[in-house]
Amino acid sequence: MPGTTTVCALELHGQNTLVSFTRDGRSVEVLYRDCEIHTDPALRARKGLDGHLPPASVITRDVPFPAGAVFSLTYDSFMGHALDQLAAVAHERLGVAPVGLHEAARHTFRATGMEEGLLPPTVHYYGDTTYTGDHFHLVDTGRPPRWR
């Protein structure tokens, strides 16, 4: 999982993420550009990482939302959307049932321990209200995550 040693959540927006497969389908690379990175200082401290923080996008300092909501946006919404697209292609081209991919993703999330106190039980996403500048609100959708 991205960020497990740095405690940074990469916002892998679908339009900025490229998945590259070898011809035989045995090797995959995920390439991304222009992503936002959010840092959680409390989680870094719990993991014993130093107090050095980037100049922007630090949760509780620059990002006015709880870490769980930010990580849900990143993993459930952004990464989940990219995984939905990959699942559709895998189903169409390889005959792989999406339910099998969902279970593999759930197993991976459980194995990393990311759900333990980090991610909320429901998906968080942008609210419907529009604000000026870079301001936005995250809301709890009440929906359970599909990929974890």
Residues 107, 112, 118, 123, Cα dihedral to 10°: -30
pLDDT band (50, 70, 90) for residue 112: confident
Per the structure, how many domains does the chain have?
1
Query: What values do phi and psi take at 17, rounded to 5?
Result: -120, 130
Question: Residue 42 domain-assigned?
Answer: yes
Question: Residue 112 domain-assigned?
Answer: yes
Question: Residue 146 domain-assigned?
Answer: no
Question: Residue 72 domain-assigned?
Answer: yes
State the pTM of this model: 0.76
Question: Residue 103 domain-assigned?
Answer: yes
Question: Residue 101 domain-assigned?
Answer: yes
Q: Any idea which of 18-32, 34-48, 108-122 has the lowest mean pLDDT?
A: 18-32
pLDDT of residue 106: 87
